[in-house]
Structure formats: structure tokens, C-alpha cells
Structure 1
Amino acid sequence: MEFILYLVLILFFTKIAGHLSVRLGQPSVLGKLIVGIILGPAVLGWVESTEFIHYISEIGVLLLMFMAGLETDLKQLQQNWKAAFSVAIAGIVLPFIGAYGVAELFGLTQNSALFMGVLFSATSVSITVQVLKDMDKLNTREGTTILGAAVVDDVLVVILLAVMMSFMGTGEEISLGLLVGKKILFFGIIIVVGWLVVPKFMKLLSMLKVTEPIITVALIVCFAFSYFADLMGMAGIIGAFAAGIAISQTNFKHVVETKIEPIAYSIFVPVFFVSIGLNVSFEGVGAQLGFVLVLTIVAILTKMIGGALGARLTGFNNRSSMSIGAGMISRGEVALIIASTGLQAGLLLPEYFTSVILVVIVTTLVAPPILKLFFKESAKTIINRNDKDFHQSF
């Protein structure tokens, strides 16, 4: 029954920490992430990263991205696809160069340096989604651009990683054509199924004389899309996000949204936030402190500047561009998965694994306050401009 104790500790302390974060003017998610570090092996050691925690957190991040899809304005997303591509590409190129340069500076091998570039090109917006939801900014032009860019980023980074592993002889022979074909096939099937099948499937099964048929069917769609995404070499969160968008186009959107949220936030999402902090360990980091500090600064700045540059090139003003760049900073669970893959393939040296994980966690921790700061400043700029226009009209 030890897992029950873990749940008690996680649920209690995440709520307290989230409340304190809000009182201090920070996003609630920041407190929840810090709780994971405090409760985990890095500090108190009260909660361990068990298989149970892993599975609950996996469901948590899928539900979080599913709800993001439900709340996304599809028309807004379609209108901003150019900006999303621009943000994703610039947000890959700069971090790749930056991380590669840091690895070279500290004497890592050529293969390891290239892998570092790919690793820190990744983006995970699961944390960003929570911050945007808290600020009611998820459905803004900036919010939908961040979400769209994250999808493009995921596809491109997975392809980059596969190409690298193929050329460096660290994995099985990988056909680039097959890899790209699977991505195209994934989006093609998801669009057709989401547009034609999901509405009819929801309507048909909603008539079942059982408890909560609509919510159950929605969860089936969410998890099925996630599994299919994973099967096609994509992150499961992309499938969950697509499932949310598909259901948002049906008449069941409001019912699903209002009933899924309590399920997600009562247990699954808090465990996901804590699970990120549980990966932190300070063992052996002292000898690589310079490497960790330099890589952290470069990882944060290159992703933010790259994303902002991509946004600026597609018509966003300076403040909005920086807000979008800030939304791309977090590497989160996507980078953790890539790091583990690189370790197994011999692209990431074992002695650097802990330091790299720590940098990934730090990028995830700093993303919420930076994101809130820029969105707040952006809102102030709009208000001041409106006030100026109002006074000039008289």
C-alpha cells in the first residue's frame, strides 16, 4: 500500500504548493514542480519514481494535452500555421547550434555534441499549456501558435534523432522515407478519423444506457489517438491533443470539458507535475557545475530567442514574439525521453546523463515564471496602447 501513501503526499503538497505559488504571484504549476524535487530523492526522499507513478503521470500529461485540444480554436490554429512553422524551425536551429557549441566547448565527442544539439532542440508544451490555462491565454493567437509550433517541433526533432542514429550506426537501419511517410500517414489518418469518424462514434455510443457514456467514449478516443501517435513514432501527447481538437468540433465539447477536468486535476495531472521533479538528482553534478550552468543559460536563451525570432518574422510584435519564445523554453518529458534514448544508443555519455537531466528540469522550472512575465507585459502594452488611442480620439 506504499503507492497510496505516495498519492496522499503528492495530492496534499501539490495543492498547498500551488496555492502558495499563486499567493506569491507565480503560476501554480511552479509550486507543484518544486514539490516533486522536495518530496523526491533530491531532498527528502519521501516519494520514489515507481512504475505506478510513471503510469499515472503518463495518463496525466495525456489528459492535460487532451484538454488543451478541447479548448483550442481550430480556426485560429489554421490561420497561424505559417507562424507555427516559423517558430518551430527557428526554435530548433538556434538551440541546436547553441547546445552543440557548449558540448564542443566542454570537450564532448562529436557524436555526443550533435546529440546534445538535437536533445535541446526539443520542446514540451505540457507545462506551458497549464500556465496558459491559468492565465486564460490558451485560445489567444500567441497560445495557438505555441501549440502549433510544438507539434511541428516534435515531428522535426524525431526525424532529426532518427537520421542521426541511423548515420552514426547506433541503432537499426532506419529508412528516412519510411520515417517521413509514417508522419504523413499519421496526420492523414488523424484528420480523416477526427473529421468523419469521431463525431459519429461519439453520437452512436452516447446513446448507450450506461453510466457516463460520453466521457468514457471521449477517453477512448483520447487514448486511442495517443497510442496510434506512439505507434507511428510520434509523442503520445500529439495524439491526445488531436483527439481534443476532434471532439471540440462536436456537440459534446462542453460536456466532455466540464467532466474531464475534475478527473484530470484531482489525481492524474498533479502526479505528472511531481514526476518531473522526481527525476532530479544532484549526485555527481558538482564536478560538472560549469557545464550545467552554461548549458542551462544557452538552452533557455536560444529557445526563447529562436521562437521569438520565428514569431517576429511572421508579423507578431516584439512583446508577443517574446511571449511565444518563452512558451517554447520547457523541454519537459519530451527531452527526458530523448535523453534516455541517447543513453541507450551510446550517443549520450553516462557521466553526463545526470547533468543533462538537471538542465532539462531547470528549463521546465523556469518556463512558467518567464512565460507569465512576458504575457503580463504584453497585456500591459495592449492596455496602454488602447488607452492612448482612446485619449487621442477626443
Structure 2
Amino acid sequence: MEFILYLFLILFLTKIFGHLSTLLGQPSVLGKLVVGILVGPAVLGWIENNDFIHYTAEIGVILLMFIAGLETDLDQLKETWRSAFAVAVGGIILPFLGGYAVAEAFGLGHNHALFMGAVFSATSVSISVQVLKDLNQLNSREGTTILGAAVIDDVIVIILLAVMMSFLGTGNDISISMLIGKKLIFFIATILAGWLIVPRFMKLFERISVTEPVITMALVVCFGFAYFAEKMGMAAIIGSFAAGLAISQTSFKHTVESKIEPIAYSIFVPVFFVSIGLNVSFAGTLNQLGFMVVLTLVAVLTKLLGGALGARITGMNTRSSLAVGSGMISRGEVALIIAATGLQASLLPEAYFTSVVIAVILTTLIAPPLLKYFFSRTAEARDSR
């Protein structure tokens, strides 16, 4: 029955610390992330990152990105695809070079340095999505650019990772053409399913005589798309985001949105936020403190500037470009998964794994206040016109 105690602590403390965070002028998500560090092995050790936490958090981030898809303006997303592509590319090149340079400077080998660059090229916008929702900026030009860039970033980084594992690690049997082919199949299949199947599917099951058929079938679509994304080598959150976009084009959008948020935010999403902090452990990392500090600073600055540069060259002003760049800073669960994969393939030295994890968590903690700062300045500039 230990999981009941975990839920009690997580649900209670995330609401308290989330409120305290807003009183300090910061996004509520920052307080929730701090809870994970406090109750986890880094400080109090009250909660372990066990299977219950892992799977509940997985559902949480899938639902969070599903809601983001529901609330995204598809027309705005189409309009910003050029900026999104440029932001994704800029947000990969600079962090890759930065991660490689830091690893080389601290004496890691060439192959390990290349992989370090790949780890910090990743982006996870699940935290940014929550901040954008709180700021009512999810459907702004900057917000939709961040969402589009995250999808493109995911595709490029996964292909980059596969290439590295094929040539440098143990995955010599990886077919790059097969990998790219699966990505194309995913996008073609989800577009066709979202256009032709999902609306009919929802209407069909609306008529059946069971409790909450619409919201249940919406969740079926969400988890079905997420599973398909995983099978095609994509992150599950890309699939759930696509599912949200598909349902947002139907007449069920508002019904699903109003009923899915209480499910997500009452249990699953708080567990996801806390699970990120549970990965932090300071044991045996003092001798690598300089490495962690430099790596974190480089990770933040290269993603901010790389993303901002991509936005700037596609027509956004400086304030908007920096807002977009700040939304790409968090590496989150995507980089943690890549780091764990590299550890298994001997592309990331075991002695540096904890330091890399802490640097990833720090980028996730730094992202919300930076995102709020730059978006607030963008809003002030618009209001002053």
C-alpha cells in the first residue's frame, strides 16, 4: 500500500509548492518540480522512483501533450512551420557543438563527446506546455512554433542517435533507411487517421449506451496514437499530441477538453512533474561540480540562442525569438531516455551518468522562469503598441 502514501504526498505537496511558486512570481510548475527533489533521494528520501511512479508519470506526460494538441490552433501551426523547422535545426546544431566541446574540454573521448552533444540536442516541451498554458500563450505564434519545433526536433535527434549507435556503439544492425521510413509511415498514417478515421470513430461510439463513451474513446485514440508512435521509433508524446490535434478538428473538442483536464491534473500530471525531480541524486557528484555547472550553462545558452536564431531568421523580432528559444531549453524526459540508452551502449561513461542527469534536470528547472520572463516581455511589447 506504499503507493497510496506516495499519492498522498505528491498530490498534497505539489498543490502547496505550486501555490508558493506563484506567490513568488514564478510558474506553478517550478514548485512542483522542486517537490520531486525534496521528497526524492536527493534530500528527504520519502519517495522512490519505482514502477508505480514511472508508469503513472508516463500516463501524465502523455495526457499533458494530448491536452496541448487539443488546445493547439492547427491553422496557426501550419503558418509557423518554417519558423518551427528553423528553430528545431538551430536548437540542435548549437547544443550539439556545445555538448561536444564541454565533453572534450573535460577529457572525455571523441565518441563520448559526440554522444554528449546528442543528449543535449534533445528537447522536451512538456514542461514548457504547462507554462504556456498558465500564461495563456499556447496558441500564440511563439507557442505554436515551440510545439512544431519540438516535433521536428524529436525526429531529427532520434535519427541522429540511431546513426551514432550504428557507427559508434553496439547497434551496428540499425538500418537508417528503415528508421526514416518508419518516421514517414508514422506521419502519413496519423494524418490519414486523424482526417478520415478519428471523426467517424468518435461519432460511432458517441451513440453507445455506456458511461462517458466520448471521453473514453478519446483516451483510446490518445493511447493508440502514443503506442503507434513508440512502435515507429518516435516518442509517445508526439503520438498523443497528434491525437489531440485530430480530435481538436472534430465537434467533440470542447467536451473532451473539459473532461480530460480533471483526469490529468488531479493525479497523473502532478506525478509526472515530481518524477523528474526524483531522478536527482547528489551522491558522489561533488568532484564533478565544475563539469555539471559548465555543462548546464552551455546547455541552456546554446538551446536558447540556437532556437532564437532560427526564429529570428524566419521573421520574428528579437523578443519573440528569445521567447521561442526559452521554450526549447528543457531537455526533460527525452534527454534522460537518450542518456540511459547511451549508458547501455557504452557511449556515455558510467562515471558521468549522474552528472549528466543532474544537468538535464537543471535545464528543466531553469526553463519555466526563463520562459515566463521572455513571454512576459513579449506581451508587454505588444501591449505598448
Give yes or no for TM over 0.5: yes
User: Are positions 1:111 and 2:117 aligned together?
Assistant: no
1:192-211 to 2 correspondences below 5 Å: 192-211=192-211
One-letter code of the match for 2:297? Answer: I
Matching residue of 1:148: 148
CA distance in 1, matches of 2:284, 2:366: 22
* CA deviation vs aligned residue, 1:225-272 (integer Å, no higher than 9, x gap): 000000000000000000000000000000000000000000000000
Matching residue of 1:214: 214
One-letter code of the match for 2:293? Answer: L
* CA deviation vs aligned residue, 1:26-56 (integer Å, no higher than 9, x gap): 0000000000000000000011101001000
Aligned CA-pair RMSD: 0.5
CA distance in 1, matches of 2:171, 2:43: 36
* CA deviation vs aligned residue, 1:249-296 (integer Å, no higher than 9, x gap): 000000000000000000000000000000000011100011001000
User: Are positions 1:324 and 2:321 aligned together?
Assistant: no
* CA deviation vs aligned residue, 1:52-81 (integer Å, no higher than 9, x gap): 010000000000000000000000000110
Matching residue of 2:45: 45
CA distance in 1, matches of 2:333, 2:206: 34
Q: CA deviation at 1:123?
A: 0.1
Matching residue of 2:271: 271
* CA deviation vs aligned residue, 1:87-144 (integer Å, no higher than 9, x gap): 0000000000000000000000111100000000000000000000000000000000
TM-score by length of 2: 1.00
Matching residue of 1:27: 27
Q: CA deviation at 1:172?
A: 4.0
Matching residue of 2:99: 99
CA distance in 2, matches of 1:146, 1:7: 32
User: Are positions 1:283 and 2:283 aligned together?
Assistant: yes
Matching residue of 1:86: 86
Give structure 2 stretches of 5+ with no counterpart: none
SS at match of 1:209: coil
SS at match of 1:219: helix
Matching residue of 2:63: 63
One-letter code of the match for 1:360? Answer: V
One-letter code of the match for 1:328? Answer: M
CA distance in 1, matches of 2:313, 2:228: 34
SS at match of 2:34: helix
* CA deviation vs aligned residue, 1:161-200 (integer Å, no higher than 9, x gap): 0000001142241111111111011000000001100000
CA distance in 2, matches of 1:278, 1:45: 9
1:233-244 to 2 correspondences below 5 Å: 233-244=233-244
User: Are positions 1:132 and 2:132 aligned together?
Assistant: yes
SS at match of 2:282: coil
User: Are positions 1:76 and 2:76 aligned together?
Assistant: yes
CA distance in 1, matches of 2:172, 2:193: 32
Matching residue of 2:7: 7
User: Are positions 1:360 and 2:363 aligned together?
Assistant: no
CA contact (8 A) 2:169 2:345 kept: no
One-letter code of the match for 1:58? Answer: E
Q: CA deviation at 1:160?
A: 0.2
SS at match of 1:211: coil
CA contact (8 A) 2:91 2:303 kept: yes
CA distance in 2, matches of 1:141, 1:372: 16
For these two proteins, the number of residue pairs brought into alignment is: 385
TM-score by length of 1: 0.97
CA distance in 2, matches of 1:65, 1:87: 20
One-letter code of the match for 2:109? Answer: T
CA distance in 1, matches of 2:55, 2:179: 27
CA contact (8 A) 2:87 2:306 kept: yes
* CA deviation vs aligned residue, 1:202-227 (integer Å, no higher than 9, x gap): 00011110000000000000000000
Q: Flag the 1:196–1:223 CA change in 2: closer, same or farther, 3 A.
A: same
Moved over 4 A (4+): none
CA distance in 1, matches of 2:225, 2:299: 31
CA distance in 2, matches of 1:299, 1:285: 18
1:252-271 to 2 correspondences below 5 Å: 252-271=252-271
Q: CA deviation at 1:382?
A: 1.4
One-letter code of the match for 2:340? Answer: S
SS at match of 1:142: helix
Q: What percentage of aligned pairs have identical amino acids?
A: 70
CA contact (8 A) 2:169 2:347 kept: no
